[in-house]
Amino acid sequence: MYMSEQRKGDTAIVSIKRKIRPGEVVIHAVLLSCALLSIAITLGIVIILVKESILFFGSKEVRLVDFFSTTTWQPMIQKFGILPLLNATLTTSFIAVLTAVPIGIAVAVYLSEYASGKTRNTLKPVIEVLAGIPTVVYGYFAITFMTPLLRSIFGENIVEIYNTASAGIVIGILILPLVASMSEDALNAVPRTLREAAYGLGATKMETSLKVVLPAAFSGLAAAFIVGLSRAVGETMIVALAAGAGPNFTLNPFKAAETITGYIVRISGGDVSYNTLDYNSIFALGLFLFIITLTLNMISRKVVEKYREVYD
Amino acid sequence: MNAATDLFAADLLSKKRKKRNSIIKILLFAATMITVIILCILLLNIINNAFGVIAVENEVEPDTLAVDGTPLNELENPQLLYIIDTHLSRGLVRRFNDEYPLEERSAKELLELIEERIINSHVKKSWSLIDTVFRSSSIAAYFEANPEQERRFRAWIQPGFLVRSQSSTPENAGVRTAILGSLWIILITFLFAFPIGIGTAVYLEEYAVKNRLHKIIQTNIYNLAGVPSIIYGLLGLAVFVRVLEPVTSGALFGLTDGTTANGRTILSAGLTLGLLVLPIIIINTQEALRALPDSLRHSSYGLGATRWQTVRYHLLPNSFERILTGTIMALSRAIGETAPLIVVGASTFVAIDPSSPFSKFTTLPIQIYQWSARPQGEFRNIAAAAIIVLLVLLLSMNSFAIYFRNHYAKKRNY
C-alpha cells in the first residue's frame, strides 16, 4: 500500500531534520477542518431532525402510538397517523422497483454479456442521459404523458387524474439508469474464469449469463435493488406533481395519495411559520425518511462489501 | 438405445437450447431498447407541448381602433393618446401618467401600452403539436364554433421567452428571473462546495493516516451522498433560513434589499445546494487523485518537496481536468434540483431580477414545477418551453465538461 510507504518516508525525513514548518501545519489543520465539516453536516441533520421531532412528539396533540398506528393524517383536526403517507410512499416505491429492477438487470445483462463494444458505446450514453435529466422533468413526463396513457388504457373512471401508479412507474424510469449501472458493475466483477468454465462445459451464452453469471453476481444485484428502493423512497418531485395532494389511505394504485416527501414539499411550499405543529411535523417525517434511507443505504454497502470478499 | 438415436436426441436438445438462447437475446435487447424508446418519448413529449396552435381572443379588435382607414401601428402619437384616453378609465390614465408621462412616451411605447391594456389578447385554448397535425378537423370545428377567436401557430419557446420576466398570463411569461436565479445560486454553490470539497478529498487521500477517523469520515461521505435531497432542504430551512437569518438575509451587513423575505434568499439556497453536492464533489475529486500514479508523488517527495508542495504543484495540476469535470457534473445536478429549494422557501412569484445574494429567488426547475402543477394547458406549454431551456443549459454544461476532459486527456499519457 502506498500510504504505509509514505509514513515510513515521513519518519525518515523527520529523523534527518526535525523542523516543524508552520505553513504545513496550518494547511493540514485547514484540510482537516474541511473533512470534519462533512461530519458536522451529518450531525447537523440528525440534531435538527431529532430536535424538531421531540417538539412534535412532545406536544399534547400528538401521541407516539397514534403516530405509528392510526390511518388519518389531518393536521387541521390534530390527527397525526403516518400510515396513509407511509402507505403511499411504499406503493410508489414498490411500483418503481417493480418497473426498474427487471428492465435494469436485463439492460445490464445485455450490455455486459451480449452487446458488442460498438453497441455498448452507443447505448451507454443514452442511459447516462436518462440519469442526468432533472427529476422535475420526470414529474412533468408523469402528468403529461404517463397519466393520460394509463387513463386511456384502464379507463378514465378507474384511473384518477393524480395517482400513485403513474408516479411509481415514472420513478421506476428515474432509477432505471442507477439500477442498470450498478447491476452492470456487479456483472463485470464476476471473474472471466467462471464464464470460460461454463463455456468449456458446453453451455450456451444464455445458460452462461443466466445460470452462472447472474447467480454469481447476486449480492451486487441485491445491492442495486436496495439502492434503487432507497432512491425511490426519497424521490420528491415526481410524487409532488403526479401522485396527488392529500393523504389518502388506499391500496389502489389508481387513486390519488400523498407520500411522505409529497407532504413535506406541499407544507413547506406554503410559507409555513416556525414553531407550529405543521413546521415540526415535516421534520418528524424527515427524520423517519432519513432513518429509512440511511438503513437501506447501509445494508446495500454491507452487501457489496461482502460479495467483494468472495472474488478478490 | 443405439448410438444413432443418442446423437439425434443430442441434436434436438441443442436445437432447443439454441432457440432458447436466441429468444433470451431478443428479450434482453428489447429491454435495452425500451430505455432508448423512453428517452425518445420523453423528449418528443416536451417538444410536442412546446409548439402548437392557439386560439387567441382580443378584448378589442385592433381593426376597430384604426382611425380613418390608417391601421393602428401607423398612427401618430396624438391619435394614440386619444385612443388611450377614450378606452381606459381616468384613474388608470392618471396612474400611467404618474409612472411616466404619456406625452413623453414614444409611439412604440404607446403601442405597447395599447396592446397590453386595450387589445388585451389572451390565449383561450392551446393544442399540442401532434393535435395540430393530426386533429386539424376538430380544431377547425372549434374555430367555426368560436369565430371571435383568432387561430395562430405559437412556438412557446422563443427568444422573448428567455428575456421576459414572470407574469400571471402564460403568453406573457418568461424565464428571465428564473435563469438569473439559477445562475446566482449555482455561483454560490460553486464558491462554497468547490474549495471545501477539494480540501476534504486532498485530506482524505494525501494527508490522513488510514485510521478510525479516516474510516468514519469516508463512510459518512458515502452516507451523505445517499441522503434524499429533501432532507438537505430541511437542514437548509432550519440552519440557513432560521438560525443564520441575520447573515442570510443580509441584515448583519446592512444589505437587506427591499424584497428579502426572512432569510429565504439566494444565499440560503446556494449554501443548501452546496451541502447537497459536497459529497459528490469529494468523491469525484478522490477518484481523480487516486487515478494519479504514485511515481508522481514519489518523485516529488524524492526531490524534497513537502506534502503541500506535492499537492499544490504536482497532484492538483495533474488531476485538474478530472476534478473540474466532476465538479461540473455535480453542479449540473444542483441546477436541476427542485425539492430542497422549495423547502428552503423559493418564492412563488418573482418579477424583479435578483440583484444580490440577499434577494428572493426562483429557479428554472421551480418555475417548471409551479407551471406544471397548474391545470391549464397553456401553463403546461410554457413548462415544456422552460424544460427545453433547462435541458439545453444542462447539455451545454455537460458537453463543455466532456470536451474539456477529452482536450486535456490527450495531453497526458499515463
Kindly identify which residue of chain A lies nearest to residue B237, measuring between CA atoms. A268
Weakest mean pLDDT among A104-113, B4-13, B64-73, B228-237: B4-13
Q: Do A49 and B390 touch (CB under 8 A)?
A: no
Domains for chain B: give ranges and CATH numbers: 45-53+124-155 (no CATH), 61-119 (no CATH), 176-409 (1.10.3720.10)
Q: Are A212 and A195 in contact (CB under 8 A)?
A: yes
Q: Report CB contact under 8 Å: A126, B222.
A: no
**Residue B1 predicted with pLDDT over 60:** no
Q: What stretches of B182-310 adopt beta strand conformation (E)?
A: none
Residues, chain B, total? Answer: 414
Q: Do A137 and B335 touch (CB under 8 A)?
A: no
Q: Is A275 left (phi over 0), alpha (psi -120 to 50) or beta?
A: left
Closest in B28, B42, B398 to A106, CB measured: B28
Give a yes or no: residue A19 inside a domain.
Answer: no
Q: Which CATH number characterizes residue A206's domain?
A: 1.10.3720.10
Q: How far is A145 from chain B (nearest CA, A)?
A: 7
Question: Please, are residues B55 and B377 in contact by the beta-carbon 8 Å criterion?
Answer: no
Residue to test with chain A: of B214, B235, B367, most A Cβ within 10 A:
B235
B195, B224, B342 ranked by CB distance to A268: nearest: B342
Which residues 150-209 of chain B have a CB within 8 Å of chain A? 195-196, 199-200, 202-204, 207-209
B223 vs B333: CA distance, rounded Å: 18
Structural domain boundaries enclosing A162: 73-311
Q: What DSSP string runs through B92-139?
A: HHHHHHHHS-GGGS-HHHHHHHHIIIII--EEEEE--HHHHHH-HHHH
Query: Is residue B309 packed enough to be buried (19+ CB in 10 Å), middle (13-18) or exposed (0-12)?
Result: middle
Asked if A233 and B339 come within 8 Å (Cβ–Cβ), the reply is no
Interface contact flag, B31 A102, Cβ < 8 Å:
yes
Contact B339 A240 (CB under 8 A): yes
Alpha-helical runs (H) found in chain A: 2-16, 22-58, 64-69, 83-109, 117-132, 135-141, 147-154, 164-188, 192-200, 205-207, 214-216, 218-234, 237-242, 260-269, 277-311
The closest CB to that of A44, out of B24, B204, B239, belongs to B239
Cα(B339)–Cα(A134) distance, integer angstroms = 11
DSSP state of A244: -
Contact across the interface for A297 and B226, Cβ inside 8 Å: yes
**Closest Cα of chain A to B91: distance in Å?**
34
Residues, chain A, total? 312
Q: Who has greater pLDDT, A51 or B118?
A: A51
- Do the Cβ atoms of B31 and A107 come within 8 Å? yes
Q: Is residue A117 part of a domain?
A: yes
Query: What is the model's pLDDT at position A237?
Result: 93
Pick from B163, B190, B191, B189: which is nearest to B177 by CA?
Answer: B163
A57 inside domain: no
Which pLDDT tens digit goes with each residue over B307-356?
999 999 999 999 988 899 999 999 999 999 999 999 998 877 787 888 88
Q: What is the three-class DSSP state of A179?
A: helix
Cβ contacts of B210 on chain A, cutoff 8 Å: 3
pLDDT tens readout for residues B11-25: 666 788 888 888 999
Give the C-alpha separation, A175 to A228, whole Å.
6
CB-based contact A206 B21, cutoff 8 Å = yes
Per-residue pLDDT at B412: 66
SS3 of residue B398 by DSSP: helix
- The alpha carbon of residue A250 is apart from the nearest alpha carbon of chain B, in Å, by 23
Chain B residue closest to A36 (CA)? B217
- Identify all chain A residues contacting B233, using CB atoms and an 8 Å cutoff: 264, 268
Dihedral angle of Cα B180, B186, B188, B194, to the nearest 10 degrees: -160
Q: Is B212 near chain A, with CB under 8 Å?
A: no
Distance CA A188, CA B73 (A): 69
Q: How far, in whole angstroms, is CA A298 from its chain's centroid? A: 11
- Copy the grid coordinates of residue A116: 458488442
| CA distance linking residue B198 with residue B204, whole number of Å | 10
Percent of chain B with pLDDT over 70: 94
Task: Tell me which chain B residue has its CA closest to the CA of residue A262.
Answer: B339
| Cα→Cα distances A48→A186, A264, B237, B271, B276, Å | 37, 15, 10, 17, 16
Closest to A89 in 3D by CA, of A106, A111, A73, A112: A73
Does B387 contact A31 at a Cβ distance shorter than 8 Å?
Answer: no
List, in sequence order, every residue forming a beta bridge with B123; answer none if it has no partner: B56
Using a CB-CB cut-off of 8 Å, the residues of chain B touching A114 are: 25, 28-29
Question: What type of residue is B207?
Answer: Y
Listing DSSP states for A27-47 in one string gives: HHHHHHHHHHHHHHHHHHHHH
Task: Please report the pLDDT score of residue A67 as a whole number.
Answer: 83
CB pairs under 8 A between A and B: 243
Indicate whether A113 belongs to any domain.
yes
pLDDT of residue B414: 53
pLDDT digits (tens, 9 = 90+) for B210-223: 889 999 999 999 99
Confidence band for B136, pLDDT divided at 50, 70 and 90 = confident
Mutate to test the interface with B, among A43, A113, A170, A206 (most CBs of B within 10 A): A206
Assigned C-alpha cell, A94: 414498490
Residues in A closer than 8 angstroms to B373, CB to CB, are 240-241
A37: closest CA of chain B, how far (Å): 8
- Write out the three cell numbers for A182: 450498478
B266 CB-side CA count, 13 A = 27
B46 has a chain A CB within 8 A of its CB: yes
* Cα-based distances in Å from B209 to A4, A6, B51, B218, B311: 9, 10, 59, 12, 16
* Backbone φ, ψ for residue A80 (5° rounding): -125, 80
Domain count, chain A: 1
Residue A73's H or E segment, with its range, is strand A73-74
Residue of B nearest to A141 (CA): B42
Using the predicted structure, report yes or no on whether residue A9 has a pLDDT greater than 60: no
- Evaluate whether residue A220 is within a structural domain: yes
| Per-chain mean pLDDT for chain B | 86
- The alpha carbon of residue B147 is apart from the nearest alpha carbon of chain A, in Å, by 29
| Single-letter amino acid code for the residue at A79 | K
Q: Work out the minimum CA distance from B177 to partner chain A, whole angstroms.
A: 18
What is the residue type of B150? Answer: E
Candidates A4, A27, A31, partner chain B, best to mutate (most B CBs within 10 A): A31
Chain A touched by B223 (CB under 8 Å): yes
Distance from CA of B68 to the nearest CA of A (A): 49
Q: Which three-class secondary structure state does DSSP give residue A80?
A: strand
Contact between A241 and B49 using a beta-carbon 8 Å cutoff: no
Residue A2 lies inside a defined structural domain of this protein: no
What does residue B168 show for φ and ψ, rounded to 5 degrees?
Answer: -80, -15
d(CA A266, CA A256): 15
Using 50, 70 and 90 to split pLDDT, how confident is the model at B255? low
What the block records as the C-alpha cell of B161 is 421567452
The pLDDT, as a whole number, for residue B309 is 92
CA distance B47 to chain A (A): 12
Contact A111 B32 (CB under 8 A): yes
Task: List alpha helices for B135-210, DSSP H.
Answer: 136-145, 159-163, 176-202
Of these ranges, A18-32, A160-174, B16-30, the one predicted with the greatest mean pLDDT is A160-174
B35 and A290 in contact by Cβ < 8 A? no
- Contact state of B17 with A204 under an 8 Å Cβ cutoff: yes
Return d(Cα B377, Cα B371) in angstroms, integer.
10
pLDDT per position as a tens digit, A219-271: 889 999 999 999 999 999 999 999 988 888 988 999 999 999 999 999 887 76
Strand order in the sheet with B122-126: B122-126, B51-57, B150-155
**Inter-residue contact A217 to A189 (CB < 8 Å):** yes
Q: Nearest CB to B387: which of A110, A137, A241? A: A137
Residue A270 lies in a domain: yes
CA B74, B77, B83, B87 dihedral sign is positive
Residue A253 lies in a domain: yes
- Of the pLDDT bands very low, low, confident and very high (cuts 50, 70, 90), residue B287 is very high
Q: Please, which pLDDT band fits residue A1 given cuts at 50, 70 and 90?
A: very low
User: B107 pLDDT band (50/70/90 cuts)?
Assistant: confident
